[in-house]
Chain A
Amino acid sequence: MPVVEVEHLTGRYGDVVAVDDVSFTAPAATVTAVLGPNGAGKTSTIECCEGYRVPTSGTVRVAGLDPIADRAALARRIGVMLQDGSLYTAITPREALRLFASYYDRARDPEELLSFVGLAERGSARWRTLSGGEQQRLNLALALVGRPTVVFLDEPTAGVDVSGRRLIGRLIVELAREGTTVVLTTHDLAEVEALAQRIVIIDHGRLVADDTAEALLSGDTSRSFTFRAAAGLDTASMSAAVGAMVTPTDGRYRVDASPSPSTVAALTAWLADRDVLLDDLQAGRQQLEQVFLSLTEDGANEDLASDRAESAGARSHRRAGSNRRRATR
Protein backbone atom coordinates (compact mmCIF):
# COMPACT_ATOMS: atom_id res chain seq x y z
CA MET A 1 0.00 0.00 0.00
CA PRO A 2 1.75 3.19 -1.15
CA VAL A 3 1.82 6.06 1.35
CA VAL A 4 2.22 8.72 -1.31
CA GLU A 5 0.22 8.42 -4.53
CA VAL A 6 0.62 11.01 -7.26
CA GLU A 7 -1.54 10.58 -10.37
CA HIS A 8 -1.30 12.70 -13.50
CA LEU A 9 -0.19 15.70 -11.45
CA THR A 10 0.06 18.94 -13.42
CA GLY A 11 1.01 22.27 -11.86
CA ARG A 12 0.82 25.45 -13.91
CA TYR A 13 1.94 28.58 -12.04
CA GLY A 14 1.63 31.75 -14.08
CA ASP A 15 2.99 30.94 -17.52
CA VAL A 16 5.22 28.18 -16.21
CA VAL A 17 4.25 24.53 -16.35
CA ALA A 18 6.31 23.38 -13.37
CA VAL A 19 4.90 19.84 -13.26
CA ASP A 20 3.51 18.15 -16.36
CA ASP A 21 1.48 14.96 -15.96
CA VAL A 22 3.66 13.29 -13.33
CA SER A 23 2.60 10.00 -11.71
CA PHE A 24 4.48 7.97 -9.12
CA THR A 25 4.04 6.23 -5.79
CA ALA A 26 6.16 5.99 -2.67
CA PRO A 27 5.77 2.65 -0.83
CA ALA A 28 5.56 2.57 2.97
CA ALA A 29 8.74 2.38 5.03
CA THR A 30 11.06 2.99 2.11
CA VAL A 31 13.18 5.84 0.83
CA THR A 32 11.95 7.29 -2.47
CA ALA A 33 14.26 9.76 -4.17
CA VAL A 34 12.88 12.38 -6.54
CA LEU A 35 15.81 13.14 -8.76
CA GLY A 36 16.32 15.77 -11.41
CA PRO A 37 18.41 18.79 -12.37
CA ASN A 38 17.79 22.19 -10.76
CA GLY A 39 14.50 23.64 -11.94
CA ALA A 40 13.16 20.28 -13.08
CA GLY A 41 10.00 20.50 -10.99
CA LYS A 42 11.07 18.41 -7.98
CA THR A 43 10.18 21.02 -5.37
CA SER A 44 6.86 21.86 -7.06
CA THR A 45 5.93 18.18 -7.05
CA ILE A 46 6.82 17.79 -3.37
CA GLU A 47 5.00 21.01 -2.47
CA CYS A 48 1.83 19.60 -4.02
CA CYS A 49 2.22 16.61 -1.66
CA GLU A 50 2.78 18.88 1.36
CA GLY A 51 -0.26 21.04 0.61
CA TYR A 52 1.70 24.21 -0.23
CA ARG A 53 0.62 24.20 -3.86
CA VAL A 54 -2.74 23.48 -5.40
CA PRO A 55 -2.44 21.12 -8.39
CA THR A 56 -3.83 22.46 -11.67
CA SER A 57 -5.02 18.93 -12.41
CA GLY A 58 -4.40 15.39 -11.26
CA THR A 59 -4.67 13.92 -7.79
CA VAL A 60 -2.34 13.56 -4.82
CA ARG A 61 -2.98 11.36 -1.79
CA VAL A 62 -0.62 11.34 1.18
CA ALA A 63 -1.35 8.80 3.93
CA GLY A 64 -4.77 8.50 2.30
CA LEU A 65 -5.44 12.25 2.67
CA ASP A 66 -5.93 15.07 0.18
CA PRO A 67 -3.17 17.62 0.96
CA ILE A 68 -5.44 20.62 0.29
CA ALA A 69 -8.86 19.46 1.55
CA ASP A 70 -7.46 17.58 4.58
CA ARG A 71 -4.67 20.02 5.35
CA ALA A 72 -5.18 20.06 9.13
CA ALA A 73 -5.30 16.26 9.38
CA LEU A 74 -2.29 15.95 7.10
CA ALA A 75 -0.22 18.31 9.28
CA ARG A 76 -0.35 15.69 12.07
CA ARG A 77 0.90 12.94 9.74
CA ILE A 78 3.77 14.55 7.84
CA GLY A 79 7.16 16.03 8.62
CA VAL A 80 8.63 18.64 6.31
CA MET A 81 12.15 19.84 5.70
CA LEU A 82 12.13 22.83 3.34
CA GLN A 83 14.84 23.67 0.86
CA ASP A 84 17.04 26.34 2.57
CA GLY A 85 14.51 26.50 5.40
CA SER A 86 15.81 28.68 8.19
CA LEU A 87 14.68 29.17 11.77
CA TYR A 88 14.43 31.92 14.39
CA THR A 89 18.06 33.09 14.43
CA ALA A 90 18.28 33.37 18.23
CA ILE A 91 16.56 30.08 19.11
CA THR A 92 18.53 27.08 20.39
CA PRO A 93 18.03 23.51 19.12
CA ARG A 94 16.58 22.44 22.47
CA GLU A 95 14.11 25.34 22.53
CA ALA A 96 13.13 24.78 18.90
CA LEU A 97 12.43 21.08 19.50
CA ARG A 98 10.42 21.80 22.65
CA LEU A 99 8.45 24.46 20.78
CA PHE A 100 7.65 22.17 17.86
CA ALA A 101 6.89 19.29 20.25
CA SER A 102 4.15 21.46 21.81
CA TYR A 103 2.28 21.49 18.47
CA TYR A 104 1.67 17.71 18.57
CA ASP A 105 -0.39 15.49 20.86
CA ARG A 106 2.14 12.66 20.91
CA ALA A 107 5.51 14.23 20.21
CA ARG A 108 8.90 12.58 20.45
CA ASP A 109 11.07 13.53 23.40
CA PRO A 110 13.22 16.57 22.41
CA GLU A 111 16.27 15.28 24.32
CA GLU A 112 16.08 11.89 22.63
CA LEU A 113 15.78 13.59 19.22
CA LEU A 114 18.78 15.82 19.95
CA SER A 115 20.85 12.68 20.56
CA PHE A 116 19.38 10.94 17.51
CA VAL A 117 20.62 13.70 15.18
CA GLY A 118 23.90 14.12 17.07
CA LEU A 119 23.18 17.58 18.49
CA ALA A 120 23.13 16.74 22.21
CA GLU A 121 26.30 18.78 22.72
CA ARG A 122 24.93 21.73 20.76
CA GLY A 123 21.49 21.87 22.35
CA SER A 124 22.04 25.31 23.88
CA ALA A 125 23.77 27.02 20.93
CA ARG A 126 21.94 29.72 19.00
CA TRP A 127 20.69 28.77 15.51
CA ARG A 128 22.90 31.35 13.80
CA THR A 129 26.04 29.82 15.33
CA LEU A 130 25.30 26.30 14.04
CA SER A 131 27.17 24.99 10.99
CA GLY A 132 25.26 24.21 7.80
CA GLY A 133 25.27 20.52 8.66
CA GLU A 134 24.07 21.14 12.21
CA GLN A 135 21.26 23.35 10.93
CA GLN A 136 20.16 20.66 8.49
CA ARG A 137 20.24 18.01 11.24
CA LEU A 138 18.09 20.25 13.44
CA ASN A 139 15.73 20.77 10.47
CA LEU A 140 15.52 16.99 10.15
CA ALA A 141 14.84 16.59 13.88
CA LEU A 142 12.08 19.22 13.68
CA ALA A 143 10.51 17.27 10.81
CA LEU A 144 10.49 14.15 12.99
CA VAL A 145 9.25 15.55 16.28
CA GLY A 146 5.57 14.78 15.55
CA ARG A 147 6.19 11.08 14.77
CA PRO A 148 5.21 11.52 11.11
CA THR A 149 4.02 8.68 8.88
CA VAL A 150 5.87 10.28 5.99
CA VAL A 151 8.65 12.87 5.83
CA PHE A 152 9.38 15.09 2.85
CA LEU A 153 12.99 16.19 2.73
CA ASP A 154 13.76 18.80 0.09
CA GLU A 155 17.51 18.74 -0.64
CA PRO A 156 18.39 17.54 2.87
CA THR A 157 22.15 17.64 2.30
CA ALA A 158 22.44 20.86 0.29
CA GLY A 159 25.38 22.87 1.61
CA VAL A 160 26.48 20.11 3.98
CA ASP A 161 30.05 18.78 4.07
CA VAL A 162 30.93 15.14 3.38
CA SER A 163 30.85 13.85 6.95
CA GLY A 164 27.59 15.73 7.55
CA ARG A 165 26.10 14.11 4.44
CA ARG A 166 27.04 10.66 5.69
CA LEU A 167 25.44 11.33 9.05
CA ILE A 168 22.20 12.60 7.50
CA GLY A 169 22.24 9.62 5.13
CA ARG A 170 22.53 7.20 8.04
CA LEU A 171 19.63 8.91 9.82
CA ILE A 172 17.45 8.61 6.71
CA VAL A 173 18.18 4.90 6.36
CA GLU A 174 17.44 4.43 10.06
CA LEU A 175 14.11 6.24 9.71
CA ALA A 176 12.93 4.00 6.88
CA ARG A 177 13.97 0.94 8.89
CA GLU A 178 11.84 2.16 11.79
CA GLY A 179 8.85 2.31 9.43
CA THR A 180 8.77 5.96 8.33
CA THR A 181 8.18 6.62 4.65
CA VAL A 182 10.81 9.02 3.33
CA VAL A 183 10.47 11.10 0.18
CA LEU A 184 13.53 13.18 -0.60
CA THR A 185 14.56 15.37 -3.48
CA THR A 186 18.13 15.73 -4.56
CA HIS A 187 20.35 16.23 -7.54
CA ASP A 188 23.12 14.24 -5.92
CA LEU A 189 23.39 10.84 -7.57
CA ALA A 190 25.66 9.44 -4.86
CA GLU A 191 23.02 10.19 -2.27
CA VAL A 192 20.38 8.41 -4.33
CA GLU A 193 22.56 5.39 -4.87
CA ALA A 194 23.31 5.10 -1.17
CA LEU A 195 19.83 5.69 0.22
CA ALA A 196 16.93 5.11 -2.12
CA GLN A 197 14.96 1.96 -2.79
CA ARG A 198 12.84 3.76 -5.34
CA ILE A 199 13.83 6.47 -7.79
CA VAL A 200 11.62 8.99 -9.58
CA ILE A 201 13.34 11.12 -12.19
CA ILE A 202 11.79 14.40 -13.32
CA ASP A 203 13.13 16.69 -16.00
CA HIS A 204 11.44 19.81 -17.40
CA GLY A 205 8.41 18.96 -15.29
CA ARG A 206 7.92 15.56 -16.91
CA LEU A 207 8.39 12.10 -15.47
CA VAL A 208 11.43 10.45 -17.06
CA ALA A 209 11.67 7.35 -14.90
CA ASP A 210 9.88 5.73 -11.97
CA ASP A 211 11.44 2.46 -10.99
CA THR A 212 13.27 0.58 -8.27
CA ALA A 213 16.76 1.83 -7.55
CA GLU A 214 18.14 -1.58 -8.42
CA ALA A 215 16.68 -1.62 -11.91
CA LEU A 216 17.65 1.95 -12.73
CA LEU A 217 21.17 1.82 -11.37
CA SER A 218 22.07 -1.50 -12.98
CA GLY A 219 20.90 -0.26 -16.35
CA ASP A 220 18.34 -3.04 -16.86
CA THR A 221 15.87 -0.57 -18.31
CA SER A 222 17.78 -0.11 -21.57
CA ARG A 223 15.62 -2.24 -23.81
CA SER A 224 16.56 -0.27 -26.89
CA PHE A 225 19.40 1.65 -28.44
CA THR A 226 19.78 4.06 -31.32
CA PHE A 227 22.44 4.78 -33.91
CA ARG A 228 23.03 7.07 -36.86
CA ALA A 229 23.61 5.77 -40.41
CA ALA A 230 22.77 6.67 -44.02
CA ALA A 231 19.06 7.34 -44.60
CA GLY A 232 16.78 4.95 -46.49
CA LEU A 233 18.24 1.64 -45.36
CA ASP A 234 16.13 -1.54 -45.66
CA THR A 235 14.88 -1.84 -42.07
CA ALA A 236 12.98 -5.06 -42.75
CA SER A 237 16.17 -6.82 -43.78
CA MET A 238 18.08 -5.20 -40.91
CA SER A 239 15.41 -6.32 -38.38
CA ALA A 240 15.71 -9.89 -39.62
CA ALA A 241 19.51 -9.79 -39.35
CA VAL A 242 19.69 -8.43 -35.79
CA GLY A 243 16.65 -10.35 -34.54
CA ALA A 244 14.80 -7.25 -33.29
CA MET A 245 12.54 -4.52 -34.62
CA VAL A 246 14.43 -1.63 -36.23
CA THR A 247 12.60 1.65 -36.95
CA PRO A 248 13.84 4.95 -38.42
CA THR A 249 13.34 7.90 -36.01
CA ASP A 250 14.52 11.52 -36.34
CA GLY A 251 17.33 10.78 -38.79
CA ARG A 252 18.44 7.85 -36.61
CA TYR A 253 17.48 4.22 -36.26
CA ARG A 254 16.08 2.65 -33.10
CA VAL A 255 16.65 -1.03 -32.32
CA ASP A 256 14.21 -2.56 -29.83
CA ALA A 257 16.72 -4.80 -28.10
CA SER A 258 19.32 -4.34 -25.40
CA PRO A 259 22.71 -3.46 -26.90
CA SER A 260 24.26 -6.84 -26.15
CA PRO A 261 27.53 -7.68 -27.93
CA SER A 262 25.82 -10.24 -30.19
CA THR A 263 23.09 -7.79 -31.28
CA VAL A 264 25.63 -5.06 -31.97
CA ALA A 265 27.85 -7.54 -33.84
CA ALA A 266 24.93 -8.63 -36.04
CA LEU A 267 24.09 -5.00 -36.75
CA THR A 268 27.65 -4.00 -37.67
CA ALA A 269 27.97 -7.08 -39.91
CA TRP A 270 24.77 -6.20 -41.78
CA LEU A 271 25.98 -2.60 -42.24
CA ALA A 272 29.48 -3.72 -43.30
CA ASP A 273 27.98 -5.99 -46.01
CA ARG A 274 26.37 -2.89 -47.49
CA ASP A 275 29.40 -0.64 -46.90
CA VAL A 276 27.40 1.64 -44.60
CA LEU A 277 29.15 3.53 -41.82
CA LEU A 278 27.80 3.10 -38.27
CA ASP A 279 27.91 6.33 -36.27
CA ASP A 280 27.01 7.49 -32.76
CA LEU A 281 25.60 4.39 -31.14
CA GLN A 282 23.65 5.35 -28.02
CA ALA A 283 22.35 2.86 -25.53
CA GLY A 284 19.66 3.36 -22.94
CA ARG A 285 16.63 5.55 -22.90
CA GLN A 286 17.59 8.78 -24.56
CA GLN A 287 15.79 11.01 -22.07
CA LEU A 288 17.20 9.24 -19.05
CA GLU A 289 20.65 9.61 -20.46
CA GLN A 290 20.11 13.31 -21.00
CA VAL A 291 18.90 13.81 -17.46
CA PHE A 292 21.82 11.97 -16.01
CA LEU A 293 24.21 14.01 -18.11
CA SER A 294 22.72 17.32 -17.05
CA LEU A 295 22.78 16.07 -13.48
CA THR A 296 26.44 15.23 -13.61
CA GLU A 297 27.16 18.54 -15.31
CA ASP A 298 25.48 20.22 -12.35
CA GLY A 299 28.53 19.27 -10.37
CA ALA A 300 27.39 16.14 -8.60
CA ASN A 301 30.41 14.01 -7.80
CA GLU A 302 29.15 10.72 -9.13
CA ASP A 303 29.04 9.85 -12.77
CA LEU A 304 26.11 7.63 -13.42
CA ALA A 305 25.87 8.49 -17.10
CA SER A 306 29.14 6.90 -18.07
CA ASP A 307 28.38 4.10 -15.67
CA ARG A 308 25.23 3.30 -17.57
CA ALA A 309 26.91 3.52 -20.94
CA GLU A 310 29.69 1.23 -19.87
CA SER A 311 27.33 -1.55 -18.75
CA ALA A 312 26.85 -2.96 -15.32
CA GLY A 313 29.97 -5.12 -15.46
CA ALA A 314 32.28 -2.16 -15.28
CA ARG A 315 30.78 -0.71 -12.08
CA SER A 316 33.97 -0.95 -10.09
CA HIS A 317 35.58 1.49 -12.47
CA ARG A 318 32.82 4.01 -12.11
CA ARG A 319 34.84 6.72 -10.47
CA ALA A 320 37.28 6.70 -13.32
CA GLY A 321 34.38 6.98 -15.72
CA SER A 322 34.00 10.75 -15.70
CA ASN A 323 36.95 11.24 -18.01
CA ARG A 324 35.41 8.93 -20.56
CA ARG A 325 31.97 10.44 -20.44
CA ARG A 326 32.34 12.64 -23.53
CA ALA A 327 33.85 9.76 -25.41
CA THR A 328 30.81 7.58 -24.88
CA ARG A 329 28.57 10.14 -26.55
Chain B
Amino acid sequence: MKAIAAQVRAELTLTARNGEQFLVNLLIPLGLLVLFSKVKVLVSDTARPVDFLAPAVLALAVMSSALVSLGISTGFERYYKILKRLGTTPLGRGRWIASKVIAVLVIELAQWAVLIGVALVLGWSPDPRGWVTAVLAALAGTAAFGGLALLMAGTLSGMANLAVCNGLYLVLMVTGGMVIPLERMPGMIRHISEALPAAALAEVVIGSLRTDAHVPGSAWPVLLAWAVVAPAAAAVTFRWD
Protein backbone atom coordinates (compact mmCIF):
# COMPACT_ATOMS: atom_id res chain seq x y z
CA MET B 1 0.00 0.00 0.00
CA LYS B 2 2.89 2.33 0.82
CA ALA B 3 4.20 1.96 -2.73
CA ILE B 4 0.81 2.54 -4.35
CA ALA B 5 0.17 5.64 -2.21
CA ALA B 6 3.59 7.07 -3.13
CA GLN B 7 3.13 6.22 -6.81
CA VAL B 8 -0.35 7.83 -6.93
CA ARG B 9 0.99 10.93 -5.20
CA ALA B 10 3.84 11.16 -7.72
CA GLU B 11 1.48 10.67 -10.69
CA LEU B 12 -0.82 13.44 -9.43
CA THR B 13 2.04 15.83 -8.61
CA LEU B 14 3.54 15.37 -12.06
CA THR B 15 0.16 15.81 -13.77
CA ALA B 16 -0.42 19.03 -11.83
CA ARG B 17 3.01 20.34 -12.91
CA ASN B 18 2.33 19.69 -16.57
CA GLY B 19 0.72 22.63 -18.36
CA GLU B 20 -0.67 20.62 -21.27
CA GLN B 21 -2.26 18.14 -18.90
CA PHE B 22 -3.95 21.00 -17.08
CA LEU B 23 -5.19 22.37 -20.39
CA VAL B 24 -6.64 19.07 -21.58
CA ASN B 25 -8.06 17.98 -18.26
CA LEU B 26 -9.65 21.18 -17.12
CA LEU B 27 -9.37 24.25 -19.32
CA ILE B 28 -10.84 22.71 -22.49
CA PRO B 29 -13.97 21.19 -20.86
CA LEU B 30 -14.43 24.25 -18.68
CA GLY B 31 -13.94 26.68 -21.57
CA LEU B 32 -16.43 24.84 -23.78
CA LEU B 33 -18.97 24.75 -20.96
CA VAL B 34 -18.77 28.46 -20.19
CA LEU B 35 -18.46 29.69 -23.77
CA PHE B 36 -21.27 27.72 -25.38
CA SER B 37 -23.60 28.17 -22.42
CA LYS B 38 -23.47 31.86 -23.18
CA VAL B 39 -23.38 31.64 -26.99
CA LYS B 40 -26.38 29.84 -28.43
CA VAL B 41 -24.85 28.36 -31.56
CA LEU B 42 -24.67 24.68 -30.83
CA VAL B 43 -28.01 23.60 -29.46
CA SER B 44 -30.93 23.77 -31.85
CA ASP B 45 -33.87 23.24 -29.55
CA THR B 46 -35.23 25.92 -27.27
CA ALA B 47 -33.82 24.33 -24.11
CA ARG B 48 -31.08 26.19 -22.33
CA PRO B 49 -27.65 25.19 -23.73
CA VAL B 50 -26.25 24.43 -20.28
CA ASP B 51 -28.68 21.54 -19.82
CA PHE B 52 -27.02 19.79 -22.77
CA LEU B 53 -23.50 21.13 -22.29
CA ALA B 54 -23.03 20.35 -18.60
CA PRO B 55 -23.48 16.57 -18.90
CA ALA B 56 -21.71 16.64 -22.29
CA VAL B 57 -18.53 18.18 -20.83
CA LEU B 58 -18.69 15.76 -17.88
CA ALA B 59 -18.38 12.98 -20.49
CA LEU B 60 -15.65 14.96 -22.27
CA ALA B 61 -13.72 15.29 -19.00
CA VAL B 62 -13.63 11.50 -18.67
CA MET B 63 -12.20 11.22 -22.17
CA SER B 64 -9.66 14.00 -21.43
CA SER B 65 -8.17 12.28 -18.41
CA ALA B 66 -8.59 8.59 -19.29
CA LEU B 67 -7.65 8.83 -22.97
CA VAL B 68 -5.43 11.86 -23.55
CA SER B 69 -3.80 12.47 -20.20
CA LEU B 70 -3.17 8.79 -19.43
CA GLY B 71 -2.22 7.95 -23.03
CA ILE B 72 0.30 10.73 -23.51
CA SER B 73 1.95 10.40 -20.10
CA THR B 74 2.24 6.61 -20.35
CA GLY B 75 3.56 6.86 -23.91
CA PHE B 76 6.36 9.16 -22.82
CA GLU B 77 7.12 7.07 -19.74
CA ARG B 78 7.60 4.11 -22.06
CA TYR B 79 9.61 6.18 -24.57
CA TYR B 80 11.94 7.45 -21.82
CA LYS B 81 12.37 3.89 -20.48
CA ILE B 82 10.77 4.78 -17.16
CA LEU B 83 8.46 1.76 -17.42
CA LYS B 84 11.43 -0.45 -18.23
CA ARG B 85 13.27 0.85 -15.21
CA LEU B 86 10.27 0.27 -12.94
CA GLY B 87 10.25 -3.31 -14.25
CA THR B 88 13.30 -4.19 -12.13
CA THR B 89 11.95 -2.59 -8.96
CA PRO B 90 9.61 -4.40 -6.53
CA LEU B 91 6.74 -2.05 -7.54
CA GLY B 92 5.58 -4.59 -10.12
CA ARG B 93 3.10 -4.26 -12.95
CA GLY B 94 -0.01 -4.85 -10.85
CA ARG B 95 0.71 -2.01 -8.45
CA TRP B 96 1.82 0.25 -11.30
CA ILE B 97 -1.49 -0.24 -13.12
CA ALA B 98 -3.47 0.18 -9.88
CA SER B 99 -1.67 3.49 -9.28
CA LYS B 100 -2.46 4.73 -12.79
CA VAL B 101 -6.15 3.82 -12.40
CA ILE B 102 -6.43 5.49 -8.99
CA ALA B 103 -4.68 8.62 -10.28
CA VAL B 104 -7.07 8.88 -13.25
CA LEU B 105 -10.10 8.46 -10.95
CA VAL B 106 -8.83 11.16 -8.58
CA ILE B 107 -8.33 13.54 -11.53
CA GLU B 108 -11.83 12.77 -12.78
CA LEU B 109 -13.27 13.47 -9.35
CA ALA B 110 -11.59 16.89 -9.33
CA GLN B 111 -12.76 17.61 -12.89
CA TRP B 112 -16.35 16.71 -12.08
CA ALA B 113 -16.31 18.78 -8.87
CA VAL B 114 -15.19 21.90 -10.74
CA LEU B 115 -17.41 21.38 -13.79
CA ILE B 116 -20.55 20.56 -11.77
CA GLY B 117 -19.97 23.60 -9.56
CA VAL B 118 -19.55 25.95 -12.52
CA ALA B 119 -22.53 24.41 -14.36
CA LEU B 120 -24.77 24.92 -11.33
CA VAL B 121 -23.67 28.55 -11.18
CA LEU B 122 -24.59 28.82 -14.88
CA GLY B 123 -28.09 27.68 -14.00
CA TRP B 124 -27.92 23.95 -14.73
CA SER B 125 -30.66 21.83 -13.16
CA PRO B 126 -29.79 18.16 -13.58
CA ASP B 127 -32.19 15.27 -12.99
CA PRO B 128 -31.17 14.12 -9.49
CA ARG B 129 -32.24 10.52 -10.24
CA GLY B 130 -29.64 10.30 -13.00
CA TRP B 131 -26.45 10.57 -10.93
CA VAL B 132 -25.98 6.86 -10.22
CA THR B 133 -26.29 6.01 -13.91
CA ALA B 134 -23.97 8.87 -14.85
CA VAL B 135 -21.27 7.74 -12.41
CA LEU B 136 -21.51 4.12 -13.58
CA ALA B 137 -21.21 5.34 -17.18
CA ALA B 138 -18.15 7.40 -16.23
CA LEU B 139 -16.51 4.30 -14.72
CA ALA B 140 -17.27 2.26 -17.84
CA GLY B 141 -16.00 5.14 -19.98
CA THR B 142 -12.81 5.30 -17.92
CA ALA B 143 -12.21 1.61 -18.61
CA ALA B 144 -12.92 2.05 -22.34
CA PHE B 145 -10.78 5.17 -22.83
CA GLY B 146 -8.09 3.98 -20.43
CA GLY B 147 -7.87 0.76 -22.43
CA LEU B 148 -7.54 2.70 -25.69
CA ALA B 149 -4.90 4.96 -24.12
CA LEU B 150 -2.77 2.02 -23.00
CA LEU B 151 -3.35 0.27 -26.32
CA MET B 152 -1.75 3.23 -28.11
CA ALA B 153 0.86 4.06 -25.47
CA GLY B 154 1.96 0.43 -25.28
CA THR B 155 2.44 -0.07 -29.01
CA LEU B 156 3.22 3.27 -30.70
CA SER B 157 6.50 5.20 -30.52
CA GLY B 158 6.61 8.39 -28.42
CA MET B 159 5.74 10.97 -31.08
CA ALA B 160 3.24 8.82 -33.01
CA ASN B 161 1.42 8.12 -29.75
CA LEU B 162 1.25 11.84 -28.96
CA ALA B 163 -0.17 12.62 -32.40
CA VAL B 164 -2.73 9.80 -32.37
CA CYS B 165 -3.90 10.60 -28.83
CA ASN B 166 -4.45 14.26 -29.66
CA GLY B 167 -6.00 13.54 -33.06
CA LEU B 168 -8.38 10.95 -31.67
CA TYR B 169 -9.38 13.31 -28.89
CA LEU B 170 -10.26 16.07 -31.34
CA VAL B 171 -12.21 13.80 -33.69
CA LEU B 172 -14.13 12.07 -30.91
CA MET B 173 -14.85 15.36 -29.16
CA VAL B 174 -16.38 16.89 -32.30
CA THR B 175 -18.24 13.84 -33.60
CA GLY B 176 -19.03 12.17 -30.27
CA GLY B 177 -21.89 14.42 -29.14
CA MET B 178 -19.74 16.06 -26.47
CA VAL B 179 -19.88 19.60 -27.87
CA ILE B 180 -22.28 19.37 -30.79
CA PRO B 181 -25.42 17.28 -30.16
CA LEU B 182 -25.23 13.96 -31.95
CA GLU B 183 -28.57 14.48 -33.71
CA ARG B 184 -27.08 17.43 -35.61
CA MET B 185 -24.42 15.22 -37.20
CA PRO B 186 -24.91 14.04 -40.82
CA GLY B 187 -26.39 10.52 -40.99
CA MET B 188 -23.22 8.64 -41.93
CA ILE B 189 -21.01 10.27 -39.29
CA ARG B 190 -23.73 9.81 -36.72
CA HIS B 191 -23.98 6.08 -37.40
CA ILE B 192 -20.21 5.64 -37.09
CA SER B 193 -20.09 7.77 -33.94
CA GLU B 194 -22.83 5.76 -32.28
CA ALA B 195 -20.61 2.68 -32.46
CA LEU B 196 -17.69 4.50 -30.79
CA PRO B 197 -17.17 4.94 -27.03
CA ALA B 198 -17.27 8.77 -26.99
CA ALA B 199 -20.84 9.08 -28.27
CA ALA B 200 -21.97 6.10 -26.20
CA LEU B 201 -20.62 7.68 -23.00
CA ALA B 202 -22.03 11.11 -23.88
CA GLU B 203 -25.46 9.68 -24.68
CA VAL B 204 -25.68 7.83 -21.37
CA VAL B 205 -24.49 10.75 -19.23
CA ILE B 206 -26.64 13.32 -21.08
CA GLY B 207 -29.67 11.02 -21.20
CA SER B 208 -29.53 10.27 -17.50
CA LEU B 209 -28.93 13.82 -16.26
CA ARG B 210 -31.34 15.70 -18.56
CA THR B 211 -34.88 15.77 -17.34
CA ASP B 212 -36.24 15.94 -20.91
CA ALA B 213 -34.15 13.12 -22.44
CA HIS B 214 -33.54 9.39 -22.12
CA VAL B 215 -30.65 7.03 -22.79
CA PRO B 216 -30.89 5.52 -26.29
CA GLY B 217 -31.03 1.70 -26.33
CA SER B 218 -27.71 1.09 -28.10
CA ALA B 219 -25.55 3.36 -25.89
CA TRP B 220 -25.01 1.05 -22.90
CA PRO B 221 -24.13 -2.08 -24.92
CA VAL B 222 -21.66 -0.08 -27.05
CA LEU B 223 -20.06 1.53 -23.98
CA LEU B 224 -19.75 -1.76 -22.09
CA ALA B 225 -18.34 -3.55 -25.13
CA TRP B 226 -15.56 -0.92 -25.42
CA ALA B 227 -15.00 -1.10 -21.66
CA VAL B 228 -14.20 -4.81 -21.99
CA VAL B 229 -12.50 -5.00 -25.39
CA ALA B 230 -10.14 -2.00 -25.16
CA PRO B 231 -8.43 -2.95 -21.86
CA ALA B 232 -8.21 -6.57 -23.01
CA ALA B 233 -6.54 -5.50 -26.26
CA ALA B 234 -4.13 -3.28 -24.31
CA ALA B 235 -3.27 -6.11 -21.92
CA VAL B 236 -2.39 -8.38 -24.85
CA THR B 237 -0.37 -5.88 -26.90
CA PHE B 238 1.30 -3.65 -24.27
CA ARG B 239 5.09 -3.46 -24.59
CA TRP B 240 6.96 -2.22 -21.53
CA ASP B 241 10.14 -1.22 -23.38
| A contacts, CB < 8 Å to B | 50-52, 72, 74-76, 78, 80, 82, 84-91, 95, 98-100, 102-104, 142, 146
Q: How far is the CA of A237 from the CA of B108 in the complex (A)?
A: 89
**A91-B10, A99-B6 known; A86-B80 Cβ under 8 A:** yes
Q: Would you call B5 and A82 a contact (CB within 8 A)?
A: no
Smallest CB–CB gap between A149 and chain B, Å? 13
Q: Does B82 contact A (CB under 8 A)?
A: yes
Given A52-B87, A80-B88, A87-B80: A102 and B14 within 8 A (CB)?
A: no
Give the chain B neighbours of A142 by CB distance below 8 A: 85
Given A72-B92, A90-B17, A91-B14, A102 and B81 contact (CB-CB distance below 8 Å): no
Measured CB to CB, the closest approach of chain A to B188, in angstroms, equals 42
| A52 x B91 contact (CB < 8 A) | no
Complex: A142 Cα to B3 Cα, angstroms: 15
Interface pair A52/B88, CB less than 8 Å apart: yes
The contact string, 1 if C-beta is below 8 Å from chain A, for chain B 1-38, is: 01101110010011001100000000000000000000
User: CB distance A84 to B81 under 8 Å?
Assistant: yes
**Total contacting residues, chain B, CB less than 8 A:** 23
Question: A91 to nearest B CB, angstroms?
Answer: 6
Contacts of A88 in B (CB 8 A): 10, 14, 77, 82
Which chain B residues lie closer than 8 Å to A100 at the CB level? 89
User: Which residues of chain A have C-beta atoms less than 8 A from B214's C-beta?
Assistant: none
The answer to whether the Cβ of B84 comes within 8 Å of any Cβ in the partner chain is yes
Contacts of B7 in A (CB 8 A): 99, 102
Nearest Cβ on chain B to A97's Cβ, whole angstroms: 11
Bound CA–CA A82/B86 (angstroms): 11
Query: Are B14 and A146 touching (Cβ within 8 A)?
Result: no
Interface residues of B (CB under 8 A from A): 2-3, 5-7, 10, 13-14, 17-18, 77, 80-82, 84-85, 87-92, 241
Residue of B nearest to A79 (CB): B88
With both beta carbons as reference points, the residue of chain A lying nearest to B84 in the complex is identified as A82
In the complex, 9 of the A-B residue pairs with CB atoms within 8 angstroms, ordered by the A residue number, are A75-B89, A76-B90, A80-B88, A84-B81, A85-B80, A87-B82, A95-B13, A102-B3, A104-B90
Expressed in whole angstroms, the Cα–Cα distance for A181 and B153 within the complex equals 36
Contact of B88 among A51, A89, A90 (CB under 8 A): A51
Q: Which among B2, B5, B77, B90 is the interface contact of A72 at CB below 8 angstroms?
A: B90
Within the complex, the shortest CB–CB distance from B88 to chain A, in Å, comes to 4
| Apart from the given pairs A52-B84, A52-B87, 6 other A-B contacts in the complex at a CB distance below 8 Å | A82-B81, A85-B81, A86-B80, A88-B77, A89-B80, A102-B7
Nearest B-chain residue to A80, judged by Cβ: B88
Q: How far is the CA of A105 from the CA of B227 in the complex (A)?
A: 36
Interface centre among B5, B6, B18, B90 (most CB of A within 10 A): B90
Q: Contacts of B81 on A, CB cut-off 8 Å?
A: 82, 84-86
